[in-house]
């Protein structure tokens, strides 16, 4: 595994990577250098043949992440950067748009990662923490987690993905609007009830154990099948049924020709664990 400045990345089990946001003294709050590196981490794992499932969590006891480092942003963030350059509203707007798109692209790298990502959240998970977690495939949390779509409290509509993805990962639009408009804190139990997370565990250790168990389960399956399933589900979310079926047929016209099908079937009959070629 490569070494990163702001992230700890190790492999707790075969084919499983664990990525930790590693700025615990600042509640894992993000500044620009960090999200640029986040993209490098996930772009690398996406095509690494040694990785089949990824766990994403926050280092330390207190937070998954407190979100954007507001102090850093006010000193060196996009508004600060625009200030010196121009006073023209339209030109500032172009600068902001470029910045937001780059920021979005960095966070979207989690969703675009070909391998499934399991996000394990504890303590504080505010603002950017939700942008990040809505990009993950499976969400797990602790019972003490405190979630908030925090942006409204700093005068902003969240723009790094939460407002785009939350209505597509949770079915209750009334709840989505409630938490997004009010910035109120909600708990792991509430998150489970509405389907934002799949599991709530008693503490960080247990939540990570659950994440690892799930990651190992996925890593034992055919990577052709698992990665195809992620791709097809993400495609389905965004497309009409007929388009999704058509895309699925074309996808599988190559994927089904894999030797994994035969290996998986034989292992099923023989009750052995199949081994699959790297991908």
Residues of this chain, 198-257, that bind a copy of itself according to CB under 8 A? 198, 214, 217-218, 221-222, 224-233, 236-257
Question: Is 155 an interacting residue with respect to a copy of itself (CB under 8 A)?
Answer: yes
Q: How many residues bind a copy of itself (CB under 8 A)?
A: 111
Element holding 8 (H helix, E strand): strand 7-13
CB of 144 to a copy of itself, least distance (A): 19
| Sign (positive or negative) of CA dihedral 232, 234, 240, 241 | positive
Find the part of the chain contacting a copy of itself (CB under 8 A) among 2-10, 122-130, 168-176, 202-210: 168-176
Residue 232: both structure tokens together: 């097809």
Site mask for a copy of itself (CB under 8 A), range 96-125, x = bound: xxx-xx--x---x-----x-x---------
Spatial separation of the C-alpha atoms in residues 240 and 256, rounded to whole Å: 23
Interacting positions 44-83 with a copy of itself (CB under 8 A): 47, 70, 74, 78-79
Question: Is 42 an interacting residue with respect to a copy of itself (CB under 8 A)?
Answer: no
Query: Of 157, 189, 202, 272, which lies in the binding site for a copy of itself, with binding defined by CB under 8 A?
Result: 157
Question: Is 131 an interacting residue with respect to a copy of itself (CB under 8 A)?
Answer: no
Residue 245: both structure tokens together: 């079926």
Nearest to 184 by CA among 151, 158, 156, 148: 148
Find the part of the chain contacting a copy of itself (CB under 8 A) among 16-24, 120-128, 161-169, 200-208: 161-169
Q: Where are the alpha helices (DSSP H) in the chain?
A: 32-46, 70-76, 78-85, 89-112, 128-135, 162-169, 173-182, 188-194, 204-219, 223-238, 241-255, 260-270
Query: Of 50, 88, 202, 205, which lies in the binding site for a copy of itself, with binding defined by CB under 8 A?
Result: 88
């Amino acid at each position: 595994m490569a070494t990163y400045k702001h992230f700890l990345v190790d492999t707790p089990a075969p084919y499983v990577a664990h990525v930790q946001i590693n700025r615990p003294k600042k509640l894992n709050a993000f500044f620009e250098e960090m999200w640029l590196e986040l993209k490098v981490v996930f772009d690398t794992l996406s095509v690494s043949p040694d990785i089949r499932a990824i766990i994403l969590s926050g280092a330390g006891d207190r937070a998954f992440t407190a979100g954007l480092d507001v102090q850093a942003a006010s000193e060196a963030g996009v508004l600060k950067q625009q200030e010196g350059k121009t006073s023209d509203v339209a030109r500032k707007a172009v600068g902001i748009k470029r910045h937001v798109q780059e920021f979005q692209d960095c966070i979207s790298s989690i969703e675009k990662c070909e391998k499934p990502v399991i996000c394990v959240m504890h303590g504080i998970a505010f603002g950017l923490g939700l942008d990040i977690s809505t990009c993950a495939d499976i969400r797990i949390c602790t019972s003490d987690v405190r979630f908030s779509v925090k942006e409204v409290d700093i005068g902003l509509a969240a723009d790094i993905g939460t407002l785009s993805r939350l209505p597509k990962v949770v079915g209750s639009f009334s709840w989505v609007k409630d938490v997004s408009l009010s910035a109120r804190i909600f708990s792991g139990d509430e998150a489970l009830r509405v389907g934002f997370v799949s599991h709530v565990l008693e503490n960080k250790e247990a939540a990570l154990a659950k994440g690892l168990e799930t990651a190992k389960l996925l890593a034992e399956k055919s990577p052709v099948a698992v990665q195809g399933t992620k791709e097809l589900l993400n495609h389905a979310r965004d497309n009409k049924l007929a388009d999704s079926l058509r895309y699925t047929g074309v996808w599988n016209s190559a994927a089904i020709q894999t030797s994994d099908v035969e290996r998986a079937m034989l292992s099923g009959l023989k009750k052995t664990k199949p081994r699959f070629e790297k991908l």
